[in-house]
Amino acid sequence: MLATLSVQNLTIEYAARRGKVRAVRNVSFDVQRGEAVALIGESGSGKTTLGLGLVQLLPTTAKITTGSITYRRYVAARQNGKSQPVREIDVLALGGKQLRAYRWQECAMVFQSALNSLNPVLRIEDQFADTAKAHGYLQGRALRERAYDLLQMVRLDPERVWRSFPHELSGGMRQRVLIALGLLLEPQLLILDEPTTALDILTQRNIMDVLKELRQKLDFSLIFISHDLSLAAELADRVATMYAGKIVEMADVQTIFKSPVHPYTIGLINAVPTLVSTKEDLTSIPGSPPDLIEMPTGCKFHPRCPLADERSRTEEPDLVSVARGHEVACWHWQTSREALQAFKVSA
């Protein structure tokens, strides 16, 4: 079966005063039907730009210079037993009405700043109605019933929320309203950009539970953008780590956690506290993300990488397949795990 979303060689650049910011560089990945893919990276790694590119909501200063995004619409496969794409959409060629229909009907995106993603002067009711009306979806009573179901699914009290203004709801409630709103038109793909960042730990837990539950109940693909690998572990089927606008390692969630080979991914995993880890085991990656305008030569991670050698400094490695479904962009992938272990012991 062909993927719901195929991204091929996507490059996105910003025009800044100092020069070009190459926020996304030659990124390719697929999202299968019903699959959850996590994009993990530090801030400035290009993951949010990538997400915005998928729904063509990049700021005017940004430009997609190369690549393609192909989206495939399936009918509800359980009903007619077939799983052929009904329609193939070239997302980058969309404009006007078609683009508006693609947004939200096919692909909904919940933004990073959930607290500020709802219009402060409209009731929740009106924001649902606006969305439904824009897509010729249900109206009036039928819309309310559908919305109530969704609000219940995200564990909100529909009666309380429906007539409220955004400022009358807590951050966690607003985030769940947005998720419910995202699912309103039954999109095949939901993009969540840092859905739990601004929330306290308990609310964060709650949202993650809601998302897991929704994934079981409903049939949609998910792109989960986060800096937090542990959250990705809970939700994702597959994980891609991004560094300096590029995917540097991609594998299923088991592989990423059990046998990561890119030093950056290994670093991210070492920074995640686990139940059995001691304080000494926890390390953070030294240094900070690269300047995206004047990027380092060679492998962009080399200034922060203990394994960097002459080749890393001059040549940039491409993503290569190292096992089935496991790709990595590193010159030292064969020895990285042992070498890093030794490095840590000696230090």
Partner 1 sequence: MSALTSNFLVRRFAKALFTIWFVATITFFMVRAMPGNALDVMIQDLTTQGYSPQDARDRAAALLSINLNQPIHEQYFAYVGNVLRGDLGKSYRSPSLRVSDIIAAVLPWTIFSVGVSLVISFVLGIALGTIMAYTRDSWIDHVLSNLAATLEAISPYLIGLIVFLLLGPVWKLVPIAHMRGALSPGVQVGFTSEFFVDVINHVWVLVLVYVLTSVGSWMLIMKSSTVSTLGEDYVTAARARGLPDSRIITAYVGRNATLPLFTRLAIQIGFVVGGALLVESLFTYRGIGFVLAGALYERDYPIMQGVFLIITIAVVLANLLADFLYGYLDPRIRIVGEGN
- Residues at the contact surface with partner 1, assessed by CB under 8 A: 55, 57, 99-105, 108-109, 111-113, 116-122, 130-131, 134-135, 165, 167, 178, 181
Instruction: Name residues whose C-beta falls within 8 Å of residue 94's C-beta, 6 or more positions apart in sequence.
Output: 56, 102
Q: Would you say 116 or 314 has its CB closer to partner 1?
A: 116
Residue type, 118: L
Residue 80 Cβ vs partner 1, minimum distance, rounded to whole Å:
27
**Residue 112 or residue 221: which is nearer to partner 1 going by CB?**
112
Residue 345 makes CB contacts below 8 A (sequence gap 6+) with none
| Smallest distance from partner 1 to CB 111, Å | 6
Rounded least distance, CB 213 to partner 1, Å: 23
Q: Which of 146, 115, 110, 113 is nearest to 128 (CA)?
A: 146
How many other CB atoms sit within 10 Å of the CB of residue 274?
A: 11
Q: How many Å apart are CA 228 and CA 194, to the nearest integer? A: 9
Q: Which is nearer to partner 1, 181 or 330 (CB)?
A: 181
Closest CA to 48 of 62, 35, 36, 34: 62
| Minimum distance from residue 106 beta carbon to partner 1 (Å) | 10
Query: What is the secondary structure of 178-218 as a DSSP string?
Result: HHHHHHTT--SEEEEESTTTTS-HHHHHHHHHHHHHHHHHS
| Cα distances (Å, whole numbers) of residue 25 to 84, 258, 296 | 31, 27, 14
Distance of closest approach, residue 117 Cβ to partner 1, in angstroms: 4
Cα–Cα distance for residue pair 265/250, rounded to 1 Å: 10
Residue closer to partner 1 by CB (options 49, 336) is 49
For tokens 């030292």, the residue is 332
Q: Of 108 and 250, which has the nearer Cβ to partner 1?
A: 108
CB nearer to partner 1: give 45 or 131.
131
Q: How many CB atoms lie within 10 A of CB 139?
A: 11
Residue 127 beta carbon to partner 1: minimum distance, rounded to whole angstroms = 8
The nearer residue to partner 1, 168 or 318, going by C-beta atoms, is 168
Helix axes 140-153, 201-217, angle to 10 degrees: 120
Question: What tokens appear for 106 in the block?
Answer: 């096919």
Smallest separation, CB 190 to partner 1 (Å): 12
Min. distance of Cβ 195 from partner 1 in angstroms?
A: 13
Cβ distance to partner 1 smaller for residue 116 or 321: 116
